[in-house]
Amino acid sequence: MNPLKREQIIQSLKSDRIFDLLIIGGGATGCGVALDAASRGLSVALVEKNDFAEGTSGRSTKLLHGGVRYLESAVKHLDPVQYHLVRDGLKERGVLLRIAPHLCHRIPLVTPLYRWMEIPYIFAGLKLYDVLAGSMNIGHSRLLTRRKALESFPMLKTSGLKAGVSYYDGQFNDARMAVTLALTAASTGATVANHVGVTGLLKEGNRIAGAVVADSLSGDEWDIPAHCVVNATGPFSDTIRKLDNPDARPMLKVSSGTHLVLDEHFSPPDTGLLIPRTKDGRVLFIMPWEGQTLVGTTDEPSELSEHPRPMEEEIDYLVHYIGRYFDLQFSRNDIKAAWAGLRPLVSDPGKSDTAKLSRDHVLEESPSGLLTITGGKWTTYRKMACDTVNYVIRRFNLDCNSECRTDRIPLIGGAAFETGQGARLAEEKGLDPLIAAHLSRAYGDKAPSVMMIAEDGFGDVLAKGYPYLEAEVLWGARYEMATHAMDVLARRTPIALLDTAAARASAQRVVKIMGQELSWDPERCRQEERMVEERLSSAI
């Protein structure tokens, strides 16, 4: 792999050429559109105001799923929209497991059943879930006796437990997936930059003709002309729509979802537990993720914020509900990290409860030609991208007649990845199996290259008890466009999402390694340390 030099990327964005497509936003949607368009031969620029996946795409529940809850809604209300949402999600789940086998894996999930009448209802529903996946099914749902359910998930409340159903979904590392999508788009010819935000839109007559952007590192501002501008800013879609037309009617409501991270012993190492609908209509889950336990989530109407902070009431809600549904002794002191994400939900003025708003995606063209793609799910980013690029080619008469083929393009690290790679790496290099498994999952077939850096004096772990290596800091800065220390701590590795104290303890080392690689002066190093502390003590 060639190092990705930020100056060269910025220079290329400053060249006079007119891009076919300028994408605003480097989350799942924007990076997905960039890869799809570049792989069809279009000239593509993507700008992300913060880091890739610093928005919602790095704060999801990390499930690749059709949505068991939406299936219930599809059946109960004979709702074709929800039905297609589930079917598309299941198909995409299969595609993502194939094109990014290092970053995604299947996970068994158990749903506990406390009422006899639920057993046929939930089991039939999950069997239908398998059927809808068709040839993309990743495992068969099974009815579990009470004993088997407790064996699979010993933390279940025993009182009143009748049985359980086990089924499969996908699990993934969302932030690394978005970064990998951005890198794959770049390797396919797109010019992608993080920490460059759109501050205005360019117009020729009354048509959109590009955008004004600002580099938050240098402070430089310039214009990027483009035939078509795609607004993929998730919860911020209305902000960009208002740059186009200050009177545009808002199309989104934003809802916040909080996750808590607990120690690994709060869940079995390879099985999750999911309650599709609690008494108050929420999804509740406990599952292993990156060696720790992820608990969530909430669904509360929220204000727009770049770094949403988990609300105290949301944390209280989760602590309370977990105690109600699971046999777990845990208090606020057991929480190692907490973070919130904002769902971009396409709004219906008649509905005030965000849990009921559509999770389907919407592609809107404004009278001046600004395209907004929003809503949907992480799982369906590829389909959203494909719909967008198909529309763009037709509507803007772009010279391109190739079809979407991102279902066959492996993401970087996925092409030569093999399931046994982690174990082999451990054996050949005498590595701790946990570290080898982590490197293999995070970097796929690039893991041996990361190991070479580790062997060159960067082989220590960043935080005790975690498998993340110093080598990954250097790799992130050199090959993955990590520009701030927090980019490494929260997205190239997930340390800050897993353990605030561990992230704090690693900060100085991360800054030192990045400083050497990116030639930071002492003042920049101090500034970076302050930035990390600011994020960790407020909202990451």
Q: Which residues bind ligand FAD (CB under 6 A)?
A: 24-30, 47-50, 54-57, 60-63, 65, 197-198, 232-236, 257, 297, 341-344, 374, 376-379
| Minimum CB distance to ligand FAD smaller for 191 or for 233 | 233
Q: Shortest gap between Cβ of 379 and ligand FAD (angstroms)?
A: 4
Nearest alpha-carbon partner for 178 in 415, 470, 494 = 494
Joined together, the tokens standing for residue 261 give 């991270």
| Minimum CB distance to ligand FAD smaller for 252 or for 447 | 252
Q: Shortest gap between Cβ of 391 and ligand FAD (angstroms)?
A: 16
Q: Shortest gap between Cβ of 262 and ligand FAD (angstroms)?
A: 17
Inter-helix orientation angle 68-76/80-99, to 10°: 160
- Alpha carbon distance 90, 405 (integer Å): 18
Please name the residues in contact with 143: beta carbons below 8 A apart, sequence gap of 6 or more: 119, 123, 163, 164, 165
Joined together, the tokens standing for residue 287 give 């599952």
| Minimum CB distance to ligand FAD smaller for 32 or for 467 | 32
| Minimum CB distance to ligand FAD smaller for 6 or for 65 | 65
- Half-sphere exposure of residue 275, counting CA atoms within 13 Å on the CB side? 24
CA 35 → CA 151, 402, 407, 408, 435, distances in Å? 43, 14, 11, 12, 30
Residue 57 near residue 183, CB atoms below 8 Å: no
- Alpha carbon distance 149, 128 (integer Å): 21
- Half-sphere exposure of residue 539, counting CA atoms within 13 Å on the CB side? 17
| Minimum CB distance to ligand FAD smaller for 104 or for 435 | 104
| Minimum CB distance to ligand FAD smaller for 288 or for 344 | 344
Q: Shortest gap between Cβ of 149 and ligand FAD (angstroms)?
A: 23
DSSP bridge pairs for 171 = 63, 105
Q: Shortest gap between Cβ of 67 and ligand FAD (angstroms)?
A: 8
| Minimum CB distance to ligand FAD smaller for 60 or for 421 | 60
Q: Shortest gap between Cβ of 278 and ligand FAD (angstroms)?
A: 15
| Minimum CB distance to ligand FAD smaller for 224 or for 471 | 224
Q: Shortest gap between Cβ of 239 and ligand FAD (angstroms)?
A: 6
Cα 423 off chain centre by: 27
Tell me if residue 404 falls in helix, strand or coil.
Answer: coil
Q: Shortest gap between Cβ of 506 and ligand FAD (angstroms)?
A: 23
- Alpha carbon distance 292, 290 (integer Å): 6
| Minimum CB distance to ligand FAD smaller for 244 or for 470 | 244
Q: Shortest gap between Cβ of 258 and ligand FAD (angstroms)?
A: 7
| Minimum CB distance to ligand FAD smaller for 377 or for 441 | 377
CA 507 → CA 60, 458, 497, 531, distances in Å? 24, 15, 14, 10
Please name the residues in contact with 271: beta carbons below 8 A apart, sequence gap of 6 or more: 107, 108, 109, 110, 152, 153, 166, 287, 288
| Minimum CB distance to ligand FAD smaller for 50 or for 421 | 50
Q: Are strands 272-275 and 104-113 parallel, antiparallel or unpaired?
A: parallel
Sign of the dihedral through C-alpha 426, 2, 179, 537: positive
Q: Shortest gap between Cβ of 176 and ligand FAD (angstroms)?
A: 13
Helices (H), strands (E): how many in the chain?
A: 18, 18
Q: Shortest gap between Cβ of 116 and ligand FAD (angstroms)?
A: 30
- Alpha carbon distance 164, 398 (integer Å): 53
| Minimum CB distance to ligand FAD smaller for 82 or for 506 | 82
DSSP bridge pairs for 112 = 164
- Alpha carbon distance 368, 233 (integer Å): 18
Q: Shortest gap between Cβ of 357 and ligand FAD (angstroms)?
A: 12
User: CB 511: neighbour CB atoms within 10 A?
Assistant: 24
